[in-house]
Structure 1
Amino acid sequence: DGLQLKESNFTLFTALDSYGAERYEILRGPASVLYGQASPGGIINYVSKRPTEENLREVELGAGSFDRYEGKFDFSGAVNADKSLLFRLTGAAHTGDTQTDFVEDDRIFIAPALTWQPDADTSLTILANYQRDRSGWAMQYLPAYGTIRPGKDGKYLPNSMFVGEPDFDTYNNDQASIGYELDHRFNETWQVRQHARYVHLKHYEEGVFGGGLLNDEGDYSRYADAGGTRLSGFTIDNQAQADFDTGPLAHTLLLGLDYKRYTYRDYAASNDMPGDDFNIFDPVYGYPVGEMTPYTDTDTTQSQVGIYAQDQIKLGNWRLTLGGRQDWADAKVHDNLTGAFDPRQKDDAFTSRAGLLYLADNGLAPYVSYSESFQPVSGPDSNGNPLVPETGKQYEVGLKYQPVGWNAFVTVSAFDLARQNVVRYGGVGAPNDIFQTGEIRSRGIELEAVASLDSGFDFRAAYTYLDTEITKATSITVDDDSGETVSDEGNTPF
């Protein structure tokens, strides 16, 4: 709903039930000018269902693979005769197993909403949701031996293979939020908006994971890991918008001030499980996990203040967008294992964006854009040095086409995205290491096509090609990894 959902080391608010969404909005590339700290790759905006003036009564029941059963409901309408007070109540629940043996997947989700419209120029909407997830680790770490190529005696592992311990496998999440959106128009020129939200999350996970194949007989090393997060946060965004003309130029000017504050605790422990004799071709469960050794336990407080401005200018068929933002971020981390405070981190940055587009009469719209991002990171690296903010810069050129008389839209674009100070986890022989890579560069092309056909079918197609490599290295685990392809961001056509 236009406000950031904070991530921590162990979890994020990304699993919001899709039934509660009115739509998803995809903002590609660095978008810090309007939304503050953000990944250079872009933002996914989950837009919650809003109350409607029309009556809505929807109930769904469903069943699926792996003994899945689900129920959903969505009720909305006016509370009073003049329709100045509207409500919506959305809920969903499911239970079942997963594609992985011993792993269940249960969820309860409910989202009430209320809108008050005292007049045509004023609206107040209250949005809330609660979600409870009870599951385990459906994702398994399996070797190529026995999966993508034959294993012992030519055998392949079943798709449902579970390498953990059934009695030590948990992925629990409880999250809730409540907020409001206040909108008011003063006149034909000025309108203001204030959006705010409080969130709380409690997360716990534990599991036994595959560490690697020991021999061709199928003996497999395993380790145990457990951890969790408790997080609370408040975010508020204030905007003033003015629509006006200066001579031949039509302006949409946006001015904003936002603030966010999060406090959270991350803790984790592990056990290498020496003596474990697990075999992937003859699995026997019940090996004792043993005592866990804590390796992280931190309390973190993060806050950020940002001011921003953007002007969208129209001149005939030309469209120009200019924007800038100044951020001040503060982070304080306390290490509960050592009792020490990490050096307090104070960061600030100015980010900008610019774009130019021409709307031709034949439906073609060539464009060029530049944008920047800023994402503070809290805590130290594995050498005890404070992590510095991740930044990003992207250049993009492209062509949009909407055929005259057709309900269709085609886009082709090329981009060059550079990310600096990217946080990476794990290294050779040190899976818990934290370090930053100097710069990762991603270049690629994207093609998209959307069309609504007369037959009632909608057609969508997309292709993306990425060429990603480390161009500057500051790794603590290797002397120089420049030129290497990033393992989780390699060439990705789809």
Structure 2
Amino acid sequence: MDIEMRGGSKRGFVTRYRNAALLGTAIVAFTPTCLLAQQAGNSGSVTVLDEITVEGESGDDDAKSIVATRTTSGSRMPTDIMDTPSSVSVITAREIQERGARDVEQVLQYTAGVTTDFYGSDDRFDYFKIRGFDALMYRDGLTLGRPFGGVREEVFAYERVEVLKGGNSTIFGVSDPGGAVNFVTKRPRSERFGEAYVTGGSFRTKEVGIDFGDNITSDDTLSYRLTGKLRDADDEYDFSRDDEQFLMGGLTWRPSDATSLTVVYDYLNRDGVPGSGGHPVGSDFDRSRFFGEPDFNYRGTNRNTVSAMFDHDFGSGLSFSSNARYSDTNTDFGYAYIAGTPTDGSTIAKRDFFANDYANENFIVDARLQYDANFENVDSRTLVGVEYNDLSSSTDTYWGPAPSIDWMNPVFTGAPGSLPLITSTRTDQKTRAVYLQQELTFAEKLIATVGLRNDWLDTRQTNELMGKAAKGDDSEFTSRVGLTYRLTDEFATYASYAQSVAPPTVGLEPERGEQYEIGIKYSPADFPALFSAAVYDLTKKNVTVNVLDPFPRQVAIGEVRVRGLDIEAKAELTNNFNLIAAYSYLDAEIVEDGTTGNEGNRPAMVPEHMASLWVNYELEGDGRRGDMTFGLGGRYMGSYYFTDANMVSAGSSVVFDAALSYEVVENTTLEVNATNIFDTKYVANGGFGADFYNPGRAIYATLRRTW
């Protein structure tokens, strides 16, 4: 590996326009050629509905409320959350702005069942688990991949973030059993709107952002939206940076009331660092202390994405929708980290160099036909869909020893001239899927839901160092059944069974999951709110882990089981007072471990208890004084182990956040957001020769203008 440092991604970026053209072609190719609806010839038995809700439009005002009522993450059909036989949490744009969440981990950290921040000052990826397991990320229902190893998503690009908890491969396809995080892209609206902001604060942060749109034609036929941000910042440790350029533009064409086509292009470029590199075990240095190498400390991201979303209502209850996305991504990182802390009284820490270059090109399209009908006292919704996913990726990993460092008198030695290449892999995977979602509502009380899906995965994985290729040809069938009973218009109870199957490693059995869940939901009629509670039993088999001995590879080690409880509340109790509360209990156990003998232990990074509370109060303006809002939140995380061996653990912790906004003049506010306001410090990760602290206090001030 020859080292050449420059901003952004180290790999040269090449835009491949030819694949972007496939978006329009794919939508046409998947246009339905036959109707699944039975003609209403027997008029006495079938009444066909004339109206249908178009997918992609939740019906909620995500910019003005923290309480969402509808989602597509429960079945791919727009559905009332009360009618969904599973746990779904929605973080709206209003909540994201209210709490001042700046990244995905902050967006998710007040959600029941979700664990974040367990990698501390390692900033390479977004780190989170749902119900004790990994969870995949999606954008508009199309796979993005695992957060570990993926791109840190820009939350300003999204209208809402939907969290579906537990295994459910019948909806999104092959996925980890923890759940799914679905990002919903901001789209053009048929009205004039906008906002602009400037932000400054901790770590020399300077940021500007815009998000505005309008109709291009007077008849609402064509609309546009432009969203972007620029950031020049450091991070909380020395020799760091956190710069970003993001731009997104969208066009929506509505040739009729029944048809719409949206095309969105976005560009994301980040020039940052991978993390602090850790601190000596047992030390108590300031978070700003850095023991890596300033000249070898980079994390770049460069991604171009084109998305297309098409909807058409044929009438008589029949509609067609399709999503497609093409993306070209390049990322890299390189750094020196503390690999061992001596125990003989010495202050000389062992260090290693670690680097990675990754690139992928992905084209994915999903098309579905939905038919809604009423048969006397039975309402029926049927969704039939197909999906095609073509992913090509390559990854090179470099590792080697670095000069040791005296943490009492650190002397930096510079970047290495070269690093040994330890793995070089190319993966080509094509996935084809067909799925069915059926929902039957009896007498507006009992709702039966069934999901069936089959995924065919053709995988070719090439070890470039050894010149060997391995092929995998998998066919995976998953199912899901659920029953919801509306006790009243405000109360619903449900029970469900769902399966999941994780993307397989060539040569190994796929990781499979099963979940049983029962729950209750309450949505009062008097004010916007959603209260929910669920208990579940979730099992993952063929658990796969990375091992290094005698060479880097993956092995299947056994089975992990989590039984738990999730309680969550989001409520606008009055016009002035909002509340977000969550509690989770996770009884996690390694049931089988055929490699290391950890049976009976708790899996790593899974606390037993988690709780959070956020309250927001608005003091209405009086005379010359504008409206003021005050927000305060607290997050509790119980103790968890750093490894499956359960030898070292993090202690329990409580962290507080706060927010304040003041309306300077009409439509202009000054917002101040603070995370970890008391600068609570603890070791969030360790057990590998170094300690990684949790994020420290950060304060940002934003001046925002809306219209």
TM-score scaled by structure 1?
A: 0.91
How far does residue 244 in structure 1 lie from its aligned partner after superposition? 0.7
Tell me which residue corresponds to 1:250: 379
Tell whether the 8 Å contact from 2:572 to 2:579 is kept in structure 1 after alignment: yes
Tell me which residue corresponds to 2:191: 54
2 CA distance for matches of 1:424 and 1:313?
Answer: 41
> Could you say what secondary structure the match of 1:66 adopts?
helix
1:196 and 2:324 matched: yes
1:425 and 2:564 matched: no
How far does residue 192 in structure 1 lie from its aligned partner after superposition? 0.5
Tell whether the 8 Å contact from 2:277 to 2:335 is kept in structure 1 after alignment: no
1:17-166 map, 5 Å: 17-146=154-283, 156-166=284-294
Tell whether the 8 Å contact from 1:57 to 1:74 is kept in structure 2 after alignment: yes
How far does residue 335 in structure 1 lie from its aligned partner after superposition? 1.0
Name the count of aligned residue pairs: 470
- For 1:474, which of 594, 598, 607 is the aligned residue? 594
TM-score scaled by structure 2?
A: 0.64
2 CA distance for matches of 1:400 and 1:7?
Answer: 29
1:298 and 2:425 matched: yes
**Alignment deviations for residues 334-378 of structure 1 (CA, whole Å, 9 cap, x no partner):** 111011112x11111110111111111273222111111122223
> Could you say what secondary structure the match of 1:11 adopts?
coil
How far does residue 288 in structure 1 lie from its aligned partner after superposition? 5.5
How far does residue 489 in structure 1 lie from its aligned partner after superposition? 2.7
**Alignment deviations for residues 63-105 of structure 1 (CA, whole Å, 9 cap, x no partner):** 0101000000112011111110110010011111111111100
How far does residue 187 in structure 1 lie from its aligned partner after superposition? 1.1
1:276-287 map, 5 Å: 276-286=403-413
Tell whether the 8 Å contact from 1:245 to 1:251 is kept in structure 2 after alignment: yes
Tell me which residue corresponds to 1:149: none
1 CA distance for matches of 2:406 and 2:566?
Answer: 44
1:348-363 map, 5 Å: 348-361=475-488, 363=490
Q: Which sections of structure 1, spanning at least 5 residues, go unmatched?
A: 147-155, 380-385
Q: 1:352 to 1:340 in 2, by over 3 A?
A: same
Tell me which residue corresponds to 1:152: none
Tell whether the 8 Å contact from 2:294 to 2:414 is kept in structure 1 after alignment: no
Higher relative contact order (CA 8 A, sep 6+): 2
How far does residue 60 in structure 1 lie from its aligned partner after superposition? 0.8
2 CA distance for matches of 1:82 and 1:358?
Answer: 43
Once the two structures are overlaid, the 10-residue window that deviates more, 280-289 or 158-167, is 280-289
Tell me which residue corresponds to 2:494: 367
- For 2:449, which of 321, 325, 331 is the aligned residue? 321
How far does residue 160 in structure 1 lie from its aligned partner after superposition? 1.3
1 CA distance for matches of 2:333 and 2:211?
Answer: 31
Tell me which residue corresponds to 1:457: 577
Once the two structures are overlaid, the 10-residue window that deviates more, 314-323 or 212-221, is 212-221
1 CA distance for matches of 2:325 and 2:414?
Answer: 45
1 CA distance for matches of 2:173 and 2:456?
Answer: 10
What is the percent sequence identity of the aligned residues?
30
How far does residue 141 in structure 1 lie from its aligned partner after superposition? 2.7
1 CA distance for matches of 2:585 and 2:337?
Answer: 32
Which letter does structure 2 place at the counterpart of 1:88?
R
> Could you say what secondary structure the match of 1:277 adopts?
strand
Structure 1 stretches of 4+ with a deviation exceeding 3 A read 287-291, 429-433
Tell me which residue corresponds to 2:142: 3
Tell me which residue corresponds to 1:238: 367
How far does residue 430 in structure 1 lie from its aligned partner after superposition? 7.2
2 CA distance for matches of 1:367 and 1:410?
Answer: 14
> Could you say what secondary structure the match of 2:527 adopts?
coil
Tell whether the 8 Å contact from 1:250 to 1:314 is kept in structure 2 after alignment: yes
Which letter does structure 2 place at the counterpart of 1:400?
K
Which letter does structure 1 place at the counterpart of 2:400?
N
> Could you say what secondary structure the match of 2:171 adopts?
helix
How far does residue 120 in structure 1 lie from its aligned partner after superposition? 0.5
**Alignment deviations for residues 160-187 of structure 1 (CA, whole Å, 9 cap, x no partner):** 1222100001100101110211111111
Tell whether the 8 Å contact from 2:557 to 2:592 is kept in structure 1 after alignment: yes
Which letter does structure 1 place at the counterpart of 2:291?
V
How far does residue 490 in structure 1 lie from its aligned partner after superposition? 4.1
2 CA distance for matches of 1:471 and 1:451?
Answer: 38
Which letter does structure 1 place at the counterpart of 2:142?
L
Tell me which residue corresponds to 2:468: 340
> Could you say what secondary structure the match of 1:33 adopts?
helix
2 CA distance for matches of 1:430 and 1:164?
Answer: 27
Tell me which residue corresponds to 1:12: 150
- For 2:520, which of 380, 399, 403 is the aligned residue? 399
- RMSD (Å) for aligned C-alpha atoms: 1.8
1 CA distance for matches of 2:273 and 2:366?
Answer: 36
1 CA distance for matches of 2:359 and 2:287?
Answer: 34
Q: 1:430 to 1:56 in 2, by over 3 A?
A: farther
Which letter does structure 1 place at the counterpart of 2:589?
E
Tell whether the 8 Å contact from 2:243 to 2:272 is kept in structure 1 after alignment: yes
> Could you say what secondary structure the match of 1:54 adopts?
coil
Tell me which residue corresponds to 1:168: 296
Tell whether the 8 Å contact from 1:99 to 1:138 is kept in structure 2 after alignment: no
Tell whether the 8 Å contact from 1:359 to 1:365 is kept in structure 2 after alignment: yes
Q: 1:423 to 1:141 in 2, by over 3 A?
A: farther
How far does residue 20 in structure 1 lie from its aligned partner after superposition? 1.1
2 CA distance for matches of 1:249 and 1:211?
Answer: 63
1:446 and 2:573 matched: no
Which letter does structure 2 place at the counterpart of 1:270?
W
Tell whether the 8 Å contact from 1:390 to 1:420 is kept in structure 2 after alignment: yes
> Could you say what secondary structure the match of 1:406 adopts?
coil
1:493 and 2:610 matched: yes
